[in-house]
Structure 1
Amino acid sequence: MTDENKHSKSPRQPGHFRGGKGKPGQHGQRRFGSNAPAERRPDQLWIYGIHAVAAVLSNPRRRVLTLLATQNAAARLVEEGASLPAGLKDASPRDLDKLLGAEAVHQGVAVEVAPLEPLDLDALGDARLVVVLDQVTDPHNVGAILRSAVAFGADALVTTGRHAPTETGVLAKSASGALEHIAMIEVPNLATALTDLRDMGYTCVGLDSEGTTSIEDGMQGDRIALVLGAEGKGLRRLTRDRCDVVARLDMPGAIKSLNVSNAAVLSLYLAHRHLGTPTA
C-alpha cells in the first residue's frame, strides 16, 4: 500500500517543538544530486517556485543567501505576504533556466539557501502525529508526502541519515512550501527509532498491502507514527517487526495498490480523524 507495485489550513510551524537547531546526522549535511548547475554543492541549494520561495522567506530557521526574481515574480511574492530581502537581484526567465535547468518550473523566482539542519527525536516534544519513511527517496513522492503531512497537521517527518530523501529544489517544489512547516527528524537507525517512538507512547502503524488488519482498526492510542515503505520494496522486515501493527488499505476496485504518496494521503486523513487533530 505504499508504492506503485505493492502498497497501498494553516500548516503547523516548527516552533511547536522543543529543541534548538538539532544535531546533524552521522554523515553530516545532506547531499544533493542533480544535473542542474544550481544543485551541485552540498552546502547550499536553490529552492524555486512562488509558494516554495514564499515559505522559505517566512521561515526563521532558513539562512537565505541569494534571491533571484523577475519583477512579476517579486510582486507575486509580496502578494503572498513574503518580505523581500534587501539583496534581491533581478533575473530573467532565461537566467533562471540556465541556473536551474530547463525542466525546473521556477515561475520566475529562485532562492539560494543553506540546508535545514535535521533535528533528532528529542525535538518531538508533545507531537501527536509523525510520518516515518523507510528508504523512500523519490523527491516527487517525498515532496507530495510532505505537502499532505502538513495539510493534515502532522508534526514531523522521520528518516535515516542514509537511504533518505535529500533536500533539493525538486523536493521543495513538489512539497510546495511544506518543507518549511514541518520538523525534519534524522535518526541513525530506523528500527531503533521505532522502538524509541513506541517508548514515547506512539502507536507505530506500518502500511503494507498484506497487513493483518485494516488501517482503520490499526489507528490506536493518542499518538500515531505512520510508517511508509520504499517504492518497489515496501517495508523492510526489521521495520515491520518494530511496528505495533502492520495495516492495509482495503480497496474494492480492480487495482489493489497505490503510489506511496497517495497511500500517505489516505493514511494521514484517517490518522487525523482518529486523533481529532484540527487542520487549522
Structure 2
Amino acid sequence: MSDARMKMVLVTPEIPYNTGAIGRTCVALNLELILIKPYGFSLDEKSVRRAGTDYWKHVTLSEYDDWHSFLTARQPARDQLYFFEEHGAQTIYAPTYAQDAYLVFGCESAGLPRSILNDMDDRVFSLPMLDTRVRSLNLANVATAVIYQAMRPQLGG
C-alpha cells in the first residue's frame, strides 16, 4: 500500500481512552490509525467512542493480528519506522521524519516488545522528561506530542 501520509501504530494497546484520544488526533490530522492485536479492550466499548467523541466513526482504521502480519502486509522500509519508548537513545526532536512514516507506540504497561526493537536502537526515540520522579507519560499525550513534532514541516512549523 502506497500512502505518503504518516501513520500512527499502536501495538497491543490496553487502555481504551488512550486509543480513542489518539484516534481523534488522527482524524484531526488526516492520519491512518493502525492497531496491532491483542487489545486490552473491545473497540466497541463506550470508553473508546467517548474518548474519540463523535469522531471515532471517521477514524481511518486498520487492524492486524500481530506485528508480523503488519510487516508482511505493509512492508515498511526500515527508515519509515520510528519507535517511541521512554528510554530511546535520541529524543523526538532528532529525526527528520519521512512523510510516509510509521510512528510506532507500545502498550501502556510494558511499552514495545524487545522482539520488535531488536536491531532498531537507532530508530528508537523518547520524549524528554526533566524530573526523574516521573516514570512515564500518558500514551495519548506522548503520541500527540510526537505527531505534531513529526508533522511540523507539513503544518507550517
Tell me the TM-score normalised to structure 2 length: 0.81
Could you report, residue by residue, the CA deviation over 1:4-63 in whole angstroms, capped at 9, with x for unpaired residues? xxxxxxxxxxxxxxxxxxxxxxxxxxxxxxxxxxxxxxxxxxxxxxxxxxxxxxxxxxxx
Residues 88-237 of structure 1 mapped to structure 2, 5 A cutoff: 122=1, 125-151=2-28, 153-163=29-39, 166-167=42-43, 168-194=45-71, 196-199=74-77, 203-237=80-114
In the superposition, relative to structure 1, how do residues 271 and 154 fare at CA in structure 2: closer, same or farther (>3 Å)?
farther
Kindly indicate which of the two structures has a greater share of residues assigned to helix: 2
Equivalents in 1 of 2:140, 2:85: separation in Å?
14
The CA RMSD measured in Å over matched residues stands at: 2.5
Give the 3-state SS of the residue equivalent to 1:157 in structure 2: strand
Q: Residue 259 of structure 1 aligns with which residue?
A: 138
**Percent of paired sites with the same residue:** 26
Number of aligned residue pairs: 152
Q: Residue 98 of structure 1 aligns with which residue?
A: none
Shift in Å at residue 127 of structure 1?
A: 4.3
Give the 3-state SS of the residue equivalent to 2:112 in structure 1: coil
Give the 3-state SS of the residue equivalent to 1:128 in structure 2: coil
Could you report, residue by residue, the CA deviation over 1:123-170 in whole angstroms, capped at 9, with x for unpaired residues? xx424111111111211111111122222x142111134336522222
Query: Amino acid of the residue matched to residue 32 of structure 2?
Result: A
Shift in Å at residue 265 of structure 1?
A: 1.1
Alignment partner of 1:247 out of 125, 144, 147:
125
Equivalents in 1 of 2:155, 2:100: separation in Å?
11
Equivalents in 1 of 2:80, 2:30: separation in Å?
14
Equivalents in 1 of 2:37, 2:103: separation in Å?
19
Shift in Å at residue 205 of structure 1?
A: 0.8
Unmatched tracts of structure 2, length 5 or more: none
Equivalents in 2 of 1:219, 1:226: separation in Å?
13
In the superposition, relative to structure 1, how do residues 154 and 267 fare at CA in structure 2: closer, same or farther (>3 Å)?
farther
Tell me the TM-score normalised to structure 1 length: 0.48
In the superposition, relative to structure 1, how do residues 165 and 149 fare at CA in structure 2: closer, same or farther (>3 Å)?
farther
Shift in Å at residue 184 of structure 1?
A: 0.9
